Every structure is written in structure tokens, then in C-alpha cells.
Chains A and B, each alone.
Chain A
């Protein structure tokens, strides 16, 4: 593996040159709000301190694309109910372990005796099922279109191999309805979007066209290295200067306009749209999530196990919804940094490393202060 590939996109000289070019595109007196939809971008922006390189007039607004953040409390309760069954080995991505539910997290359930195991891929969960034929292995399937194909492929493989002690608790969501919900909401003014590069790898760039066509906002599908993000901002700013609204593809080294047909086929074969699905903080959004097709009922944990299936309201103080929509900054939440911290999160945005609150708390706090202190004193 050659790591030069990554390092090329982390070069200080290139980043600074781009930042200079972005600054030149700023119209005096205008304030720009650009939303990065994807949690991966949020993480990269904070990890590399990208905001330090941007002029004050450009504000990056963190969007709803953090897969952990959007899972509602009721679904997390359901997951824990399944995990606590004595016959079950419950497998999950590490991030989900610490998400608070009504009565503690999966990590707490594990400390009370539930067999909860962290995996890096659903195929690892399938392997655990193969190795433990006398146990029931359930995989907590979450994520946007980025992770859905690997779940679909795992399901197809489970069927092909006739592995029946394996099932999925499907919580896959789709990004487009969430973006539409944000564009429809009256309390937010956005100038443009950094489109989610990984999701677009699967679904292509075409599904984002409605943003340019119906809402007259530029979209630049971008990669995840800091130079990618800066390039994305540059392209959005260029479109704004030129008065254009188009979908552009900054991440063409990976993303094709038509997406990945094989991945889309695997999803279509195994899953179908739910009528509606609850998103943490955003409420119910119609046709925004996937469930297993009925021919895969045997591998569907929701069919196999009785779960509470109760809608649980978010804690009153939690403002994850407004953070996810970009209406407020993480620090503007009433409980940010006091009752809600990475050690004891109340809301999901404080759990995942892709969540806006966790990213701001862990990496980004003081960035604004540093910028203000370093800025020359007004004459």
C-alpha cells in the first residue's frame, strides 16, 4: 500500500494556495454558509483544522450525514433488547457501542452480561455465525448508502451458504430524503453543498441534481482529504461567483456519475424502501430508510425477534435535531459540554467521531478563539 496517495492530499503548500484562491472569491460584505452533508467530511474538517484556513466569511455547516447520529433512541432500545437475549451474539460497529438508549448503551448492556462484539464489517459478523453454529448472531446494520452494499452482499452470501443462525437488524438510511427535508425546512439559509463522496461512489452524482435544479444551490461531490474539502469549497464558491447551480464532481478519482451498478443491484435485490422511518432529531421522513425484502425474512432480526418497537422521545434538553440540520452550532446547544460530553453523551452527535458535537468538542473547540487571537488587531 502506498501512503503517498493520502499524503498528496494533505500537503500544506497545496492547501494554503487553495485557501488563498478561496479567499479571493469572497464578495465583500457577504456571508457564506456551505453545508458538508457527510459526517466523514465533518470529521476530516476538524481533524485537519480546515476551518483555520478559510476566511471568516465562509461558515461550514455540519449536515445530517453521520450514520450513528441519526439512529433514534427507540431503535437503539430495540437493538439492546435483541442483544440481551441469552442465545444472541450481537455484533456492531464500534461507534454504536456507546450510543445512549433509554437504559444505558450497548457497552452497558455488555457489562451486564450481553454478548456484544465489535466488528469492522458485516462479513466479520457472518464469520462469527459460521464459527458459532449453536448461537444466533445478529448484526446491527446501520449507515447510509456507503455501508448498505456490504450489508446486502453479506445477506446474499448468508443465503448462498445457507447460514441460518445469522440475521440483520436493518437501519440503513438514504441521504437524499434527509437533504430534501433540510432544504424544505424554513429556518436555514444555505448557499451550497459539499456532497458526500462515499455515498456518491454508490449512488452516483445524478440523485443530487434536484438540489441544483429545484433549490438553486450548487453541489460539489467531494473527497475526504483536507485538500479535497478545500477544493470542494473552492468549486462551490466559484459557482456562486459565476451565478451557476450545478452538480460537480471533485472526487472523480473514485465517483462515477452513474454510481456503482453492482452495489445498487445488490441493494435492490435484498432491500426495499420503508414507508417511513424516524430519524433522530429530524422526525419521521417518508421513504428514507431500507428494510429487508420479504424473501429474506429468515435473516431479518425484526421478524425473528420481538422488539419493543416503541418510539422514544429524545431527552428534552438534547438539541441534536437542530445540530443535525445545521440550525445551531454544537456549542449553542443547552447541554453542550456540561451535561453532554464525550464521556457521558446525552445525544448521538456527541458519540460518533463523525458527529458534529463530538468533532467540535474533541478537536475544534478553541479554533474560533485561536483565529480571533491571531487576527491582526483592528486599526
Chain B
């Protein structure tokens, strides 16, 4: 091994961090694999190296949950977002694909600080799909929209041959209006800020995984799917400028959201493992399946990065809302090591929390 240039551990790690922060220019695969849809590094690479490269513009480059722009010169500021839903099974404890499709897009808008107004809904239906099931899904969408205070104002229907789709796929897009003078963006995050999650982590992902019925385990657990516009409004009313930015930790979980934040801000995030709110059923299922709640999808939770002096008031505001009862301060932003999320474990050790490289599990949202 004498031909090996002697690198110290430090040099190797520095090289890795430089590499991690480099924009990705090239996809190495020649076909789409399931990893590209898992929300981790492969998804990130696909978006940066292909979609962003081909479609680049200032609004897209912000890579937020929504694009925020002025409607004409001097017009109102609007938020615009879209998301597609391919969950299997379509019906699961705590909800179905219809509620998910409404709440998901409402939440993307809410995370940018907007009041969600109107949604579109596109349906891709597989030949042979039961009308009664479609009726149930659409009825749920109506109920979810009323609950979230939005209206579904335009739509589209396509039917594909049997075998060309998994029953039903839904795409929704939404617009909201920015009524507050707020700059919710990672650029405002500072060392010392706290990360608050609005409730227990991993409920949706585990509920759906178990509902597929092929794991041979049973848990008493429901998806947390919910519209967060009301909760967000309460939080912003209470602490306003104290909120730096909001994220909804869906696919890829809280870990992915924080890893992206650390990379974007060149700051570090230290998670306090014992502080993470996780229900025993999720904890147990994750132990059995070899998963981590930090990476599991949520559909009714937000992560708020707040100024240290606003943390207590923000926590109180969240806990006062039914959807934020279990809110907890779970992490702190620190200056070092830049771009990296660390976790202090329950035994007092620590480790890195990175985005997942890929995810061999079937899709969950």
C-alpha cells in the first residue's frame, strides 16, 4: 500500500464535505430507479442536475416548497406550489389519497407563509378503478378543502389502460396569497436558532407502510395527514418575525429537511435525540424494520426554525393549537461544523445525520 498517498482522517473528511457542497452537475445513472423518488440524495441530484439545469430561473432556483412572486407589477404577492400523490394503499388508517393531496399542497403553501386560496386537481385513473372508491376519495378531498379553507377550482381527468397506473394518481397545485410582510427563508437562519417540531414524528409513513399488510406487524397508528394553514397562522400571529423559516417534513422526514437546511445555510444543526417526540408504536415499528423515525414521512407536521428569544412563545403558540399539542424544541442551530447535521444520542454520544442515499422501500407518499 506504499503507493497510497497518505491522507489524514481530517483531509479525507474535508474532501467529503467539499464534495457534498458542490452543486451536482451530472447524473451517473442512465435510467430512473426508485431511489430517484425517495426524497434523499438521489432525488436531490435528479432535481439539480436535470430539472433545474434545463428549467433554470430565479424563482425555481429558490427551491422552496412554493414559488413566491408578485402578481404583476405592484400586485399582491402570491405563493404557487404543486405535488403529486401516488400512495399505496389508497386508503389507510387516518386518511386516504384524497385528503393527502389537498393537505399536502395546502401545507406547501402554508410553509412559505401564504394563506392558501385555491387548488387544482388532476386525476390519472386506471381502467377498471371502482367509481365508488373514486367517490370516497373525492368526497374526502371536498371535506379536507373545506377544513383547510381552500376551494378546488379547476381540474383534469385522464384514464389509462389497465396496468398502466396503480389505480389512481392525483396531482394538485395551489395558489395562496402572502398577506404578511415576512421573509421566511433559510437565508435568515442564524446560529443559536432553535428547531421546533409541531408534533410526533413518523406517524404517516409507518401507518401507510403497515397498512400495506406485507410486513406481518400490526400497530395502533393513524396517518397524521392534516392541513397546517391554521397552525401556521397561529404561530406567525404569536411570534411573527421570530420565525426564520418553516418546512413540512414529508418524504425523507425531519432528517432530510434539516440536512438541506444545514447545506443551504452553511450552518450546523444539533439534534437532541431524547427530545424527539415519537410515539411508542412508531419507535417499535422502526426498531423491528430497521428504520429511523427521523427519515419517515409526516403529512401533518411542521418544523419551525425560530430565533432563540422567540422559542418559548413559538412553542406555546403551537401547543395551544390541537395540531401542535405535542410540539417540542428538538434541535439548535450552531456555527460548526458547517453544512452538517449532528445528533446527540440518548447515551451521550453523537453522530452525523445525512440525507438518505436511496430508499429501497416502496413509495410511501
Enumerate chain A interface residues (CB-CB to B < 8 A). Answer: 1, 3, 6-7, 10-12, 15-16, 46-53, 94-95, 97-98, 107-108, 110-112, 118-121, 124, 226-227, 329, 331-332, 334, 336-338, 341-344, 353, 361-370
CB of B283 closer than 8 Å to a CB of A: yes
**Chain A minimum-CB-distance residue to B40:** A343
In angstroms, Cα B283 to Cα A15, docked, is 21
Q: Is B28 an interface residue (CB 8 A)?
A: yes
Query: Which A residues are in CB contact (< 8 Å) with B358?
Result: 98, 107, 342-343
A49-B344, A98-B35, A112-B31 are known contacts; what are 20 more A-B pairs with Cβ within 8 Å?
A: A3-B287, A6-B287, A46-B351, A48-B349, A52-B348, A53-B348, A94-B361, A119-B214, A120-B216, A226-B347, A331-B13, A336-B12, A337-B12, A337-B16, A343-B42, A353-B290, A363-B351, A364-B351, A365-B16, A369-B10
Most buried by B among A1, A49, A50, A368: A49
Instruction: Report B-chain residues with C-beta under 8 Å of the C-beta of A364.
Output: 351-352
Q: Which of B29, B349, B357 meets A342, CB within 8 Å?
A: B357
A-B pairs with beta carbons under 8 Å apart, 8 shown: A1-B284, A6-B283, A12-B346, A16-B348, A52-B348, A98-B360, A341-B19, A369-B13
- For the complex, is B128 an interface residue (Cβ under 8 Å from A)? no
User: Closest CB-CB distance, A16 to chain B, in whole Å?
Assistant: 6
B275 in the interface (beta carbon within 8 A): no
Task: Collect the chain A residues with CB atoms within 8 Å of residue B361's CB.
Answer: 94, 118
Q: Is B337 an interface residue (CB 8 A)?
A: yes
CA distance A97 to B358 in the complex (A): 10
**Are A365 and B352 in contact, with the CB atoms below 8 A?**
yes
Does B45 touch A at the CB level, under 8 Å? yes
Tell whether, in the assembled complex, residue A52 and residue B360 are in contact, meaning their CB atoms are under 8 Å apart. no
Distance between Cα atoms of A103 and B41 in the complex (Å): 22
Complex partner residue of B346 from A11, A344, A363, A368, CB under 8 angstroms:
A11
B37 to nearest A CB, angstroms? 11
Known contacts A98-B360, A369-B13: A11-B347 contact under CB 8 Å? yes
Q: What chain B residues lie within 8 Å of A110 (beta carbons)? A: 33-34
9 closest Cβ pairs, A-B complex: A49-B349, A94-B360, A342-B357, A15-B347, A52-B349, A363-B351, A337-B16, A111-B31, A331-B12
Partner of A3 from the list B35, B216, B280 (CB cut-off 8 Å) is: B280
Q: A3-B280, A16-B348 are in contact. Are A365 and B360 (CB under 8 A)?
A: no
Verify if B15 is at the interface (C-beta below 8 Å from A): yes
Residues of A within 8 A of B284 (CB): 1, 3
CB-CB < 8 A to B62: which residues of A? none
Known A-B contacts A121-B216, A343-B41; the reply to A362 vs B354 at CB < 8 A is yes
Task: Report the minimum CB–CB distance from A228 to chain B (whole Å).
Answer: 11
**Are A107 and B34 in contact (CB-based, < 8 A)?**
yes
- Of residues 4 to 32 in B, which have CB atoms within 8 Å of A's CB atoms? 4, 7, 9-10, 12-13, 15-16, 19, 28-29, 31-32
Looking at the assembled complex, report how far the CB atom of A225 sits from the nearest CB atom of chain B, in whole angstroms. 9
Let me know if A95 and B13 touch, CB within 8 A: no
Could you tell me if A365 and B13 are in contact, using CB atoms closer than 8 angstroms?
A: yes
Closest Cβ neighbor of B358 among chain A residues? A98
Chain A residues, CB < 8 A from B29:
108, 111
- Secondary structure at the A interface, as helix, strand, loop or mixed, is helix
- Are B347 and A53 touching (Cβ within 8 A)? yes
CA distance in complex: A112, B33 (Å): 9
Q: Is the CB of A111 within 8 A of B15?
A: no
Q: Give B contacts to A, CB under 8 Å.
A: 4, 7, 9-10, 12-13, 15-16, 19, 28-29, 31-35, 41-42, 45, 214-216, 274, 280, 283-284, 287, 289-290, 337, 340, 342, 344-352, 354, 357-358, 360-362
Question: In the bound complex, do residue B350 and residue A370 qualify as a contact, i.e. CB atoms below 8 Å apart?
Answer: yes
What residue of chain B has the Cβ atom nearest to residue A14's Cβ? B347
**In the assembled complex, which residues on chain A have CB atoms less than 8 Å from the CB atom of B9?**
329, 331, 368-369
**Which residues of chain B are near A367, meaning CB under 8 Å?**
350-351
The answer to whether residues A107 and B35 also contact, given A121-B216, A343-B358 and a CB cut-off of 8 A, is yes
CB contacts (< 8 Å) of A370 on chain B: these are 342, 350
Task: Give the residue name and chain of the A residue nearest to B31 (CB).
Answer: A111
Instruction: Please report the C-alpha to C-alpha distance between residue A120 and residue B362 in the assembled complex, in whole angstroms.
Output: 12
Most central of B12, B32, B287, B361 by chain A CB within 10 Å: B12
Q: In this complex, what residue of B is CB-closest to A47?
A: B351
| Interchain nearest-CB distance for B63 vs A (Å) | 19
User: Is there an interface contact between B31 and A108, defined as CB atoms closer than 8 Å?
Assistant: yes
Of the residues B13, B31, B32, B347, contact of A10 by C-beta under 8 Å? B347
CA distance A15 to B15 in the complex (A): 33
Chain A residues whose CB sits within 8 angstroms of the CB of B19 once the complex forms: 337-338, 341
Question: Is B12 a contact partner of A48 (Cβ separation < 8 A)?
Answer: no
Chain B residues with CB below 8 A from A6, complex form? 283, 287
Residues in A with CB closer than 8 Å to B349 are 48-53, 226
Within 8 Å CB of A227, what residues of B? 347
Q: Are A97 and B360 in contact (CB under 8 A)?
A: yes
Interface centre among B41, B344, B346, B362 (most CB of A within 10 A): B346
Judging by beta carbons under 8 Å apart, are B360 and A118 in contact?
A: yes
- What's the nearest-Cβ distance from chain B to residue A170, in Å? 22
- Bound Cα distance from A175 to B13, whole angstroms: 32
- The closest CB in chain A to the CB of B292 belongs to A47
Shortest Cβ distance from residue A139 to the other chain B in the assembled complex, whole angstroms: 15
Whether A363 lies near B352 (C-beta < 8 A) is yes
Cα–Cα distance between A3 and B358 once the two chains are bound (Å): 28
B33 touches A12 (CB 8 A): no
> A334, B12: Cβ atoms under 8 Å?
no
In whole angstroms, what is the CA distance A120 to B357 when docked?
20
Cβ–Cβ contact B35 & A344, under 8 A: no
From residue B275, how far is it (CB to closest CB) to chain A in Å?
A: 13
Residues of chain A within 8 A of B12, CB atoms compared: 331, 336-337
- Set of chain B residues within 8 Å of A97, measured between Cβ atoms: 360
Q: How far is the CB of A358 from chain B (nearest CB, A)?
A: 8
Once the chains are docked, how many angstroms separate the CA of A363 from the CA of B7?
Answer: 20
Is the CB–CB distance between B362 and A118 below 8 Å? yes
Expressed in whole angstroms, the minimum distance between the Cβ of A284 and any Cβ of chain B is: 22
In the bound assembly, the distance between CA atoms of A334 and B7 in angstroms comes to: 9
B350 touches A49 (CB 8 A): yes
Given the known interface contacts A112-B31, A336-B12, A362-B354, the answer about A48 and B345 at a Cβ–Cβ threshold of 8 Å is yes
A83 to B49, CA, bound (A): 30
CA distance A112 to B352 in the complex (A): 34
Chain A residue with the shortest CB-CB distance to B362: A118
A344: chain B residues at CB < 8 Å are: 28
Residues on A with C-beta less than 8 A from B357 are 98, 341-343, 362
How far apart are the CA atoms of A257 and B33 in the complex, in Å?
45
Give A371 Cβ to nearest chain B Cβ, in Å. 10
A311 to B55, alpha carbons, bound, how many Å?
45
List chain A residues, Cβ under 8 A from B215.
120
Contacts of B283 in A (CB 8 A): 3, 6
